[in-house]
Amino acid sequence: MQIKINNKNCCSEKPVIQLTAGEKLCKSHFNEYFENKVFKTIRQFDLLGKEENLGVALSGGKDSLTVLAILNKLSRQNPKIKITAIAIDEGIAGYRDKTLDTAQKFCDENGIQLNIFSYKKEFGFTLDRMLKILNVKPCSICGVFRRYLLNKKSRELKLTKLATGHNLDDEAQSIMMNQMKNNIGASARLGPKVGIINDDKFVQRIKPLYLCMEKEVTTYAFINGLLDKFNECPNVVHSFRAQVRDMLNGMEQKFPGTKHGIVNSFLETLPMLKEKFRGEMVQV
Ligand code: SF4
């Protein structure tokens, strides 16, 4: 269905979102627009093969529930794409237990197998406990352990790829953080397909929401009832990412299109970056 813009409203139904370009879309036109955007991203960046044993990293937040919901639709249309969800329980009291309940509920309702692995069982300590013992920034240690565990368990489950819920805002933040920290080598690992493509030790991570803005993902998740409450990790306030996120949100408000500009120009340079850092690239 072609979306017709009439006085910037897609139709006579109540709009649920205004896009960056100004169009206002109702629920059904927005769902169509958003899902088509994700399917197009998958095709454009060749994220999926004809047959996949696909894992989806599920936190129970808006991004991962959205990517799982859409990939699950795809899997129903194409049974050769098999879906399994993986969740990591870092052990963050009052937060992760709630999002894991949401994740489990979604998987139960949709007949998706959910595999939950915990820091406590795998490493001997919850993240909360680690932070009491070690003098480290929460997200740096948490991110490294999570990526390690996701990769290890994806290999054990014999997954061909692992989809994550990273969206365009996340990518713009990562690009800017790496620039500010003069760590351009880390940017070579970004993009819709993460890291080294042909390495048996790593299950390739893919980002089907790569071109979707956070506000679009949030809208999709809420209007489709994927979750009813927004939960945020209590540690996020301590992160450098949160500061970059706030800065970019401010820039986007003043100069709409800023985040797309960052990601689109980055995509132009990514092949050169990957080439330059090919020898050093590791998928962490
Ligand atoms: Fe871990 Fe930081 Fe994410 Fe919290 S915000 S789950 S501490 S990476």
Q: Which residue has the tokens 């996340």?
A: 170
**d(CA 223, ligand 1 centre) in Å:** 26
The reply to whether the predicted model has a pTM over 0.95 is no
pLDDT at residue 7, as a whole number: 53
Percent of the chain predicted with pLDDT > 90: 82
**d(CA 235, ligand 1 centre) in Å:** 6
Pinpoint the alpha helices (H) of 90-203.
Answer: 96-110, 119-123, 127-133, 138-156, 168-180, 184-187
In tens, the pLDDT along 227-272 reads: 888 888 999 988 999 999 999 999 999 999 999 999 999 999 999 9
pLDDT class of 196 with cuts at 50, 70, 90: low
Residue nearest to atom 3 of ligand 1 (CA): 139
165 touches ligand 1 (CB under 6 Å): no
In tens, the pLDDT along 198-209 reads: 677 899 999 999
Atom of ligand 1 lying closest to residue 59 CA = 6
pLDDT at residue 179, as a whole number: 96
In tens, the pLDDT along 272-283 reads: 999 998 876 545
In tens, the pLDDT along 91-125 reads: 999 999 999 999 999 999 999 999 999 999 999 99
**d(CA 27, ligand 1 centre) in Å:** 31
16 touches ligand 1 (CB under 6 Å): no
Provide DSSP, 244-261.
HHHHHHHHHHHSTTHHHH
**d(CA 145, ligand 1 centre) in Å:** 11
Residue nearest to atom 5 of ligand 1 (CA): 236
Closest of 65, 75, 110, 47 to residue 219, by C-alpha: 65
Checking if the pLDDT of 284 tops 50, the result is: no
**d(CA 175, ligand 1 centre) in Å:** 18
